[in-house]
């Protein structure tokens, strides 16, 4: 069974502060993929990043960075110099490759989400 835990229910920061969103996961699969999605008030989930279990390099994209640590089963997301437009719900998700019968199986498991509010 897969599980994703986002312990922070809500975070409130003032613009230009850095903020880190935590994500801890559980899986028995040796191959798996981790994702972050952003859900603005409009409702659709917007894809931010995908990381596979064999690539522990941290990634930076503009003000966004991700820290993947397999040893602690964590995939944390940091926003540097936050802006009001970053206000949204952020979801961490996991998709494991279950090789029962030799087939891979894509089933995305989401965390509960973290509500980020950035105040001007």
Partner 1 sequence: EAGVAQSPRYKIIEKRQSVAFWCNPISGHATLYWYQQILGQGPKLLIQFQNNGVVDDSQLPKDRFSAERLKGVDSTLKIQPAKLEDSAVYLCASSLDGRGVAKNIQYFGAGTRLSVL
CA atoms within 13 A on the CB side of 4: 26
Of the candidate residues 52, 58, 69, 83, the single one contacting partner 1 (CB under 8 A): 52
User: Per rule CB under 8 A, is residue 102 in the interface with partner 1?
Assistant: no
> Which of 90, 116, 105, 89 minimizes the C-alpha distance to 33?
105
Nearer to partner 1 (CB atom), residue 30 or residue 69: 30
User: Per rule CB under 8 A, is residue 36 in the interface with partner 1?
Assistant: no
Nearer to partner 1 (CB atom), residue 11 or residue 108: 108
**What CA–CA distance (Å, rounded) separates 101 from 73?**
26
User: Per rule CB under 8 A, is residue 95 in the interface with partner 1?
Assistant: yes
Minimum CB separation of residue 42 from partner 1 in Å reads 6
Cα separation values, 48 from 40, 60, 104, Å: 12, 11, 23
- Phi and psi of 63, rounded to 5°? -85, -5
- Which positions lie near partner 1, rule CB under 8 A? 4, 31-33, 35, 37, 42-47, 50, 52, 91, 93, 95-97, 104-108, 110-113
């Amino acid at each position: 069974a897969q599980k994703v835990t986002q312990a922070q229910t809500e975070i409130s920061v003032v613009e230009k502060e850095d903020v880190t969103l935590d994500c801890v996961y559980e899986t028995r699969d040796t191959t798996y993929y981790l994702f972050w999605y952003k859900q603005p008030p409009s409702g659709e989930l917007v894809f931010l990043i995908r990381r596979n279990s064999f690539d522990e390099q941290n990634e930076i994209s503009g003000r966004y960075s991700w820290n993947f640590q397999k040893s602690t089963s964590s995939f944390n997301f940091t926003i540097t110099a936050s802006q009001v437009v970053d206000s949204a719900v952020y979801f961490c998700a996991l998709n494991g490759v279950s090789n029962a019968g030799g087939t891979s199986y894509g089933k995305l498991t989401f965390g509960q989400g973290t509500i980020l509010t950035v105040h001007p």
